[in-house]
Amino acid sequence: MKRFLLLLSLFIFPVSFALAEYQRATQGMVSSRSDIASEVGKEILALGGNAIDAAVATGFALSVTYPSAGNLGGGGFMVISLANGEVLTLDYREKAPATAHRDMFLDDKGDVDRELALNSHQSAGVPGSVAGLLEALDKYGSLNREQVLAPAIRLAEEGFILNQEIAGQFRGHFNSFRNYPASLAKFSANGSPLNAGALWRQPDLARTLSAISDKGRDGFYKGSVADLIVADMQANNGLISHEDLINYQPVWRAPVHGSYRGYDVWSMPAPSSGGVLLVQMLNMLEPYNIEKLGWGSTETVHLMIEAQRRAYADRAEHLGDPDYVEVPSSMLTSKDYARQRFANFDPQVAGDSAKITAGNWGEESPQTTHYSVADDEGNAVSVTTTLNRSYGNHIVVPGAGFLLNNEMDDFSSKPNSPNSYGLIGRTANEIQPGKRMLSSMSPTIITRDGKPVLLTGSPGGSTIINTVLQVVMNVIDHHMSLEDAVTSPRFHHQWMPDVVRYEIGAISDEVAAELEAMGHQGLNGSRRTIGEANSVMFENGFIDGVSDPRIVGGVAGF
C-alpha cells in the first residue's frame, strides 16, 4: 500500500516527503525497481523457494521488465546472509576482454574519447549477470533452474503492459536506439516509439532465457547465443570473443565487515569500492554523537561531508580489482586508520579537496538497479546490478534480445581524468585484459547478533555509497522507520569535484548558508534525486519492505 510519511520530530526543519510504497509481511519480502519483478520474487517464495531462489528469479525478471538496468548483458554484486549467520558475497562484475589494453580509449592527442568509451561495441565488458545468478542458485537455492526462470520467460513471451515511466524511457532514448537496427526493433513498434498501455513482447529475449533455462550457463556463454554476441562484435570492431565468454567466472569473495554502534555491517569488497568506503565513513563518524547533533544539522552535515571527502580521495588512489592490484582493504576499514584519517578534521572549517590527498598509513548510472529479498527462515539477499549508463551502450545483440553494457568506461582510461560520473581513478583501476573495473555498487546487509536487520543498496553511480550511508545512519543513529529512512532527502560529496550536491529538503537554506561560511562549495542549488534505495528491514517479528518513492518500483510480501 502507499501512504504519506509524517514528519519526524527529530527533524530540525520541514522536509517534504513523497509517497513510498510500503508493505509489512511475515513470510517473505521483495523490494525492487519493478512491481512485476517483485511479484515474481514473491511468487517464487510462495512456491517454497528461499530468498536466494527469489533473488535469482527477480534478477532474471528485471532483465525483461526493467531493461535500462536489469540485464543479461551486464553484471552485478550480491551479498547473502544465510539463516545460519554466515555472510557471503558474490562478484559477477563484468571483465575486460582479453584484447583490451590500457590506452584503448585515448585519441591521437592522448585524451579520452568518451564516444568510444560509452557508445561503441568496444565499451562492453564481458557480461557476468547470467553466470552470477546461476552460481548463486546452484550453491544456495532450493528450486531448480527451470522453476526460477519460468516467470521471466513467460513475461518475455507473452509480454506485459508498459507503464508511463518505462514508455517514457524508451521515448527518451529513441534517437540512440535508431542507430542500431536490433535496438530499434526491440524498443519500438515498426520504427515508432511505444506508448504507455502497449503490450510489449520480447521474443528474442524469450529464446535467450529459454536457452539459459535449458542449458544453464552454456546456454549463454556457449552455443547459439554466444555465436550471436561474437558475430555482432566482429562486425562492429568489438572485442568480446568466444574465449572471453567461455572463460568468464563469478567469484565468491570474503565480505567487507565493519561494526557501527553495536551493529555488524556487511558489504561488497573490491572491485566494488562501496563496502570499503561505507565502513570507512562509518568508522570516521562513530566517535561523534550523531543522534544528539540531529538529522540535517550543520554539525552533522559537515561531519558527513568531511568523511565523504576523505573516503572518496582514498577510492581514487587505492581501489581496483584485487586480482590485479593490492587493495589495502584491512587498512582502509580499520578504526585506527579512520581516527588517523580524520585527525585533521576541523569542526569549523571545510576541508580543501585539492589539499586532501589519499591516505597512506603504516561507479554507476542512475539506471543501475538495486533489489532486496528476505524470507521467513532468516535468509537475506541484497543485490545491485547494472549496465553502467542507462540502457548501457544502447546496443541490442541482434537475435538475442538483450542490451550490452558500457562498463569499460568505469576503468580509469587516463590517470586523474574523470569518468562519466566525475570519478577520478589512477593506476589501480587502469584497463588490463581480464580485469574487473572498479564499481561503486554497494549492496549491504546490517545484522545484529547474527540476525539480519536491514538490507539496502542503490543505483546512482558515484552517489550510491553515500545513499547507502545515509539510509544506514537514518536507521541506526536517527531511529527512523524504514519508510522514513529511505524517503528522507539526501546529499552527496565525492572529493572531486569539490561540491556538495543535494536533494530539495536535505539541506535547509539556513544550514546551507552556515556551510558556505565554513568554506563548503556548490550549495547554491539542488540535485533532483539521489539514489533509489529499495530496502527491507526485520522489525518486531515482521519483514518490512519499501520501494524508494523517487522511482516507480514495487514491493511484494506475504
Among candidate residues 368, 444, 463, 529, the one labeled active-site is 368
- How far apart are the C-alpha atoms of 376 and 25, rounded to whole Å? 9
CB 206 within 8 A of CB 200: no
For residue 90, give the C-alpha cell. 558474490
| Residues 6 or more apart in contact with residue 474 via CB below 8 angstroms | 295, 480, 484, 485, 488
Q: Half-sphere exposure of 287 toward its Cβ, with a 13 Å CA cutoff?
A: 12
| Residues 6 or more apart in contact with residue 343 via CB below 8 angstroms | none
For residue 330, give the C-alpha cell. 584491512
Q: From the CA atom positions of the chain, what is the Rg in Å? A: 22
Peptide bond into 67 cis (omega under 30): no
Place of cell 561507479: 363
Instruction: Considering only the C-alpha atoms of the chain, give the largest distance between any 2 of them, rounded to a whole number of Å.
Output: 63
- How far apart are the C-alpha atoms of 437 and 425, rounded to whole Å? 11
Please name which of 250, 180, 246 lies closest in space to residue 400, comparing C-alpha atoms: 180
CA 416 to chain centre: 23
- How far apart are the C-alpha atoms of 551 and 119, rounded to whole Å? 26
CA 302 to chain centre: 26
At residue 174, the 3 state secondary structure works out as helix
Clarify whether 357 is annotated catalytic: no
Catalytic residues: 368
